[in-house]
């Protein structure tokens, strides 16, 4: 039976990217996924430059630049929904002040393309002050920093998480010539959390503010806030976040990498 050093729960973008990052530093991970098969939720994922830098660090960027996109597919597994109800809700509540041409698009949209997924959110202070690792266990991606989708950074920052986590584990392997489960891994995970928490808390705040100014009404105050303050000053700060470079993975040679996870030997 194959022996794994790490178990990753969830084969989303965070889990899969972390498995790759760990593999690059010589750590074998077993990825567990509760869903039985691949599925599509939503239409697409936008990857900002920070995500491409992370993908480059993971060594997979060349695979994605040649990808062609499959046709959109409706998927809803766990959450029962009625597309007709969603359409009515969109028209009568969310989009009621939109120009009629926009409403016509909603009215004529193909119901088979409607998808529904719950939005998750964690307050930034819970990320900064909360416990994001415990012993040899930590979180990444939405499990660490669920945010509103308005900056399109949830998946991008999950890729950054993977690189940073892989780097701290890789550095530990270089230092000790092997990976030994125990206090040092726990400390490496704490360093990972420390490096990530301010970065992702800032993204949570930015995404929330971006959503708020864009969606919260069309009164004069909101218009002023959106057009004269947010787009003029704040959005350039946000675009710096999209250029964030999470760094590289360390080079772990196979002689560095005599894995030893048996605590009895430590
Ligand atoms: C409308 C919308 C638009 C978005 N647009 C963008 C965008 O343009 N760019 C971007 O970067 N991000 C975007 N995001 C955010 C992005 O989709 C998420 O941040 C990202 O998919 C999170 O990845 P994840 O791997 O952390 O979590 P998930 O994708 O949720 O993956 C978690 C996986 O774990 C599995 N799982 C859960 N519990 C268990 C368990 N107990 N055992 C085993 N498996 C389990 C689940 O089945 C799932 O496959 C958007 C989000 C929304 C809602």
Which residue segments constitute the domains of the chain, with CATH numbers given?
6-76+121-265 (3.50.50.60), 80-116 (no CATH)
141 vs 255, which has greater pLDDT? Answer: 141
pLDDT in tens, 72-82: 333 333 334 56
Q: Tell me which residue has its CA closest to atom 35 in ligand 1.
A: 10
- CA 27 from chain centre, in angstroms, equals 21
Q: Is the pLDDT of residue 90 over 60?
A: yes
> How many angstroms is it from 12 CA to the middle of ligand 1?
6
Q: What is the largest CA-CA distance in the chain?
A: 70
15 lines ligand 1 (CB under 6 A): yes
CA distance 159 to 141: 8
Looking at residues 215-231, what average pLDDT do you find? Answer: 81
141 lines ligand 1 (CB under 6 A): yes
For tokens 């999470």, what's the residue?
A: 246
Which range, 114-118, 253-257, 258-262, is most confident?
114-118
Query: If pLDDT is split at 50, 70 and 90, which confidence band does 67 have?
Result: low
CA distance 40 to 12: 11
**Phi, psi (degrees; rounded to nearest 5) at 186:** -60, -40
Q: Is the pLDDT of residue 10 over 60?
A: yes
230 vs 32, which has greater pLDDT? Answer: 32
Chain-wide mean pLDDT for the chain?
A: 84
Angle at 148 between CA 167 and CA 19, to 5 degrees: 25
For tokens 């930590």, what's the residue?
A: 138
Least-confidence region, from 26-40, 157-171, 192-206: 26-40
Q: At CB < 8 A and 24+ separation, what contacts does 9-12 make?
A: 10/34, 10/141, 10/143, 11/35, 12/141, 12/142, 12/158
CA distance 222 to 211: 12
19 lines ligand 1 (CB under 6 A): no
Beta bridge partners of 138: 133
265 lines ligand 1 (CB under 6 A): no
Closest CA to 257 of 27, 58, 57: 27
204 lines ligand 1 (CB under 6 A): no
Looking at residues 205-227, what average pLDDT do you find? Answer: 84
Least-confidence region, from 152-156, 189-193, 238-242: 238-242
């Amino acid at each position: 039976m194959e022996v794994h050093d790490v178990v990753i729960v969830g084969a989303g973008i965070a889990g899969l990217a972390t498995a790759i990052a760990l593999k690059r530093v010589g750590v074998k991970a077993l990825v567990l996924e509760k869903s039985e098969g691949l599925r599509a939720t939503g239409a697409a994922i936008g990857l900002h430059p920070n995500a491409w830098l992370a993908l480059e660090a993971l060594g997979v960027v060349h695979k994605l630049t040649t990808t062609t996109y499959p046709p959109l597919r409706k998927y809803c597994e766990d959450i029962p929904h009625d597309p007709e109800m969603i359409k009515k809700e969109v028209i009568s509540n969310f989009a009621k002040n939109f120009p009629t041409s926009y409403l016509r698009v909603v009215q004529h949209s193909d119901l088979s393309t409607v998808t529904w997924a719950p939005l998750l959110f964690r307050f930034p202070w819970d990320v900064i002050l909360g416990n994001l690792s415990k012993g040899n266990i930590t979180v990444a991606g939405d499990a660490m920093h669920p945010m509103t989708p308005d900056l399109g950074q949830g998946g991008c920052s999950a890729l950054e998480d993977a690189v940073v986590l892989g780097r701290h584990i890789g550095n530990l392997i270089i230092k000790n010539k092997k990976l030994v489960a125990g206090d040092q891994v726990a400390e490496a995970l704490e360093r990972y959390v420390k490096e990530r928490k301010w970065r992702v808390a800032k993204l949570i705040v930015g995404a929330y503010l971006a959503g708020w100014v864009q969606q919260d009404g069309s009164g004069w105050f909101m218009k002023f806030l959106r057009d004269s303050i947010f787009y003029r000053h704040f959005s350039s700060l946000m675009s710096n976040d999209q250029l964030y470079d999470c760094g590289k993975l360390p080079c772990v040679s196979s002689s560095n990498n005599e894995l030893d996870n048996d605590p009895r030997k430590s």
